[in-house]
Structure 1
């Protein structure tokens, strides 16, 4: 029961901090002090205190989009274990629900953008779903690889099955899978080199262009949902990358938190040393990630 409460507290409270760590890392590379680690929390508090401006051309879909997206992501957070602990909800086949809760959120974000009637936001929505067609198979190949290794379709026993002995036997496949997952993590969260969440009104934007009409609490829900999505995909990555248990519940939580912070630093490093790709290069990188995870499955099955 305590582990479940800790799971919920961490899943709800930690995601904005990851954005703060990424921002600090990028500032350090640029030789700046940067915003404080808690700046994302301040931004969310400011947005939730603001009013909302809604276009007269929109319908209930525009207002429901941020709420449904956030709710779907929160539900996904109950399915994935954090560290070596059990997820609050676990059943056979929950990995499919985990993946498609993200798809549900993307669907409502997309139709909310289309509901504005803006061709600019429609352009971003088209790009979002096009690239998702390449990112989702990569995620599923990774999950199928883990299913093959663990013999289960549930995320908790699947990820808890991984240990040093599994890594020693199938390390090459897991490294390929982690490389593909890291690319998906960057793509799904609109990070460089796929997109830049700090830019506005650029013709190469993907995700940010879809939420230009949102403001106040609606925009706050979108930002928090994006941070939560980064946290959950990062948790999947860390669970695979740190396949050991200390025997102590507290120590396992600390190891998981350290892994998440290290992953945030890694994302910040990538964003600092790489430029955003040309739009026509984005599908090529996603296909490369798909091939990596497909090869990882081949290595496990053979």
Structure 2
């Protein structure tokens, strides 16, 4: 019960902190002090207190998009284990549900953007679904590889199977898988080099351009859902990259939190040392990530 409560607490509280750590890391690289680590929490609180402006041309889809997207992401949070602790919900095939809950959220986000009738938001939606079509196979190749190794179709036993002896035996395949998942992590969360979450130039945006017409609590739900999605894909990466446990339950939780913060710092470093790719280069990088995870599957098939 204590593990389940900690699981829920981390899902609810920690995701915005990752955004604060990323922002602080980027500020340090630029020689600035930067916003406080807790700035994302302040921003969310301000948005949830604001009113809402809704265009007369929109329908119920526009209002449902942020709510359904956040709900789907929170359900996905119940399926993935944090560290070596079991997820609150686990069953055979939950890895498919985990992946397609993100797809459900993406569908309603793009539908809400298209519902506005804006050409800019239509452009961002087209880019979002195009890049996701290339990122999704990478995730499934990684999950199939883990299924082959663990013999399970459930995320909890699948990820808990990744231990130091497994790294010693199939380290090359796991490294290729980690590289592919990290690329998907950046692409699915619209981070540099795929997108710049801080820009407001419509011709260069992907995710941000889709939510230009949302405001108040709806926009807050979108930002919070995006941070939870970053947290969950980061948890998937950390579960694979840190295959050991201390034997102490609470120390394992602290290790997981520390690794998530370290991952946020690494994302901030990547965004500080790289520039945003040209749009024609983005599919090439996503295809390369897919090939890496496909090779990882080839290496474990005997």
Q: TM-score range by the shorter chain?
A: over 0.9
State whether residues 120 and 202 of structure 2, in contact with CA within 8 Å, keep that contact through their aligned partners in structure 1.
no
Equivalent in the alignment of 2:119: 119
Q: CA deviation at 1:202?
A: 2.9
Equivalent in the alignment of 1:88: 88
Equivalent in the alignment of 1:12: 12
Matches for 1:119-198 after TM superposition, within 5 Å:
119-198=119-198
Matches for 1:211-226 after TM superposition, within 5 Å:
211-226=211-226
Q: CA deviation at 1:245?
A: 1.2
SS of structure 1 residue aligned to 2:17? helix
Matches for 1:56-71 after TM superposition, within 5 Å:
56-71=56-71
Q: What is the TM-score normalised by the length of structure 1?
A: 0.99
Equivalent in the alignment of 1:296: 296
| Cα distance in 1 for residues equivalent to 2:114 and 2:257 | 38
Matches for 1:17-96 after TM superposition, within 5 Å:
17-96=17-96
Equivalent in the alignment of 2:199: 199
| Cα distance in 2 for residues equivalent to 1:144 and 1:268 | 29
Q: CA deviation at 1:192?
A: 0.1
Equivalent in the alignment of 1:251: 251
| Cα distance in 1 for residues equivalent to 2:247 and 2:72 | 33
SS of structure 2 residue aligned to 1:170? helix
Q: What is the TM-score normalised by the length of structure 2?
A: 0.99
| Cα distance in 2 for residues equivalent to 1:122 and 1:203 | 12
| Cα distance in 2 for residues equivalent to 1:29 and 1:301 | 42
Cα deviation digits, residues 89-111 of structure 1 (max 9, x gap): 00000000000000000000000
Equivalent in the alignment of 1:266: 266
| Cα distance in 2 for residues equivalent to 1:229 and 1:192 | 16
Shifted more, 57-66 versus 192-201: the winner is: 192-201
| Cα distance in 2 for residues equivalent to 1:202 and 1:91 | 42
Q: CA deviation at 1:204?
A: 1.6
- Moved >4 Å (runs of 4+): none
Q: How many residues align?
A: 302
Kindly indicate whether residue 241 of structure 2 is the aligned counterpart of residue 238 of structure 1.
no
Cα deviation digits, residues 246-281 of structure 1 (max 9, x gap): 111001101101110010000000000000000000
Q: CA deviation at 1:201?
A: 3.0
| Cα distance in 2 for residues equivalent to 1:253 and 1:149 | 25
Q: CA deviation at 1:170?
A: 0.3
| Cα distance in 2 for residues equivalent to 1:239 and 1:12 | 19
Q: Structure 1 regions of 5+ residues with no counterpart?
A: none
Kindly indicate whether residue 107 of structure 2 is the aligned counterpart of residue 107 of structure 1.
yes
| Cα distance in 1 for residues equivalent to 2:150 and 2:11 | 25
| Cα distance in 2 for residues equivalent to 1:272 and 1:161 | 34
| Cα distance in 2 for residues equivalent to 1:217 and 1:113 | 16
| Cα distance in 2 for residues equivalent to 1:231 and 1:119 | 31
SS of structure 2 residue aligned to 1:198? coil
| Cα distance in 2 for residues equivalent to 1:300 and 1:252 | 28
